[in-house]
């Protein structure tokens, strides 16, 4: 009978213990923001990209450079809410900037990866091969502030986001009539692609 009573007590104890809730994790949370920077179109890691941190005062650096693996990390210590922080990615003469307030989404650990477009160069040969007069012109659209009038036969060099298909748009005015044209290009990162526009 004593064995039975002991067994019942042990079983009851285990049952009560199993019904207990796990204690809630109420923090505080160590704030970590880290990630990898890669090249758009190739997925290659990028070394030397500057990452800037914005938000409340915190220990540690406010800017870091990615390492050979494209990795960066901010260890911010114990903060009430890391969602007050965001990072921006800065390019250089080989990569474009990507500044868009990339906010931390969690109270504690956050991984924020980024893709940056490599710079490519487009060498354009412009030449009007048809009848022309001094009012004829060719103008580039969407961020390229170039217009040329009259007789044109020249080469220009433009930097352009690379490793992705690009629609290059321009307009040609001849004899008072304007036509909107476009060419599909695929610039290569850190390299030059030649393209001719004869109009």
pLDDT of 182: 94
Burial pattern 125-140, b for ≥16 Cβ within 10 A else e, equals ebebeeebeeebbbbb
**DSSP letter for each residue of the chain:** -HHHHHHHHHHHHHHHHHHSPPPP----EEEEEEEEEEETTT--B-SS-EEEEESS--SS-SEEE--TTSEEEEEEEEES-GGG-EEEEE--SSB--EEEEEE--SSSEEE--EEEPBEEEEEEEEE--S---TT-EEEE-SS---EEESS-EEEEEEEEE-SS-EEEEEEEEETTEEEEEEEEE---TTSEEEEEEE-
What share of the chain in percent tops pLDDT 70? 82
Once rounded to an integer, what is the mean pLDDT over residues 161-175? 91
Average pLDDT over residues 66-91: 88
Predicted confidence at residue 9, as pLDDT, reads 46
pTM of the model: 0.72
pLDDT tens for 20-61 read 444 444 455 678 999 999 999 999 999 999 999 998 876 678
Residues 6+ apart with CB under 8 A from 156: 123, 124, 126, 146
CATH number of 119-198: 2.60.40
Give the CATH superfamily of 29-116.
Aromatic compound dioxygenase (2.60.130.10)
Domain regions of the chain by residue span: 29-116, 119-198
Q: What are phi and psi of 52, to 5 degrees?
A: -105, 140
Q: CB under 8 Å to 118, separation ≥6 — which residues?
A: 39, 40, 41, 42, 94, 95, 96, 161, 162, 163, 189, 190
Q: What is the mean pLDDT of residues 174-198?
A: 92
Q: What is the pLDDT of residues 90-139, one digit of tens each?
A: 988 899 988 889 999 998 899 999 999 999 999 999 998 887 888 889 99
Of the pLDDT bands very low, low, confident and very high (cuts 50, 70, 90), residue 68 is very high
Residues 6+ apart with CB under 8 A from 79: 28, 29, 31, 56, 58, 85
Domains 29-116 and 119-198 are alike in CATH topology: no
Mean pLDDT, rounded, for 134-147? 84
């Amino acid at each position: 009978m004593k064995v039975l009573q002991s067994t019942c007590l042990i079983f009851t104890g285990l049952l009560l213990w199993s019904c207990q809730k796990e204690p809630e994790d109420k923090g505080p949370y160590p704030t970590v923001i880290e990630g990898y920077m890669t090249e758009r179109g190739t997925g290659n890691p990028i070394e030397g990209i500057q990452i800037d941190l914005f938000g409340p005062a915190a220990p540690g650096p406010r800017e870091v450079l990615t390492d050979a693996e494209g990795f960066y990390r901010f260890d911010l210590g114990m903060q009430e809410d890391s969602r007050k922080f965001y990072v921006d990615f800065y390019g250089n003469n080989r990569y474009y900037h990507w500044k868009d307030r990339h906010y931390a989404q969690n109270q504690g650990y956050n991984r924020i990866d980024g893709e940056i477009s490599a710079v490519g160069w487009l060498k354009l040969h412009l030449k009007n091969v048809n009848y022309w007069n001094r009012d004829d012109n060719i103008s580039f659209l969407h961020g390229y502030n170039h217009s040329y009038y009259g007789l044109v036969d020249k080469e220009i060099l433009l930097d352009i986001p690379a490793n992705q298909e690009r629609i290059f748009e321009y307009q040609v005015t001849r004899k008072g009539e304007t036509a909107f044209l476009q060419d599909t290009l695929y610039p290569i990162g850190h390299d030059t692609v030649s393209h001719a526009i004869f109009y």
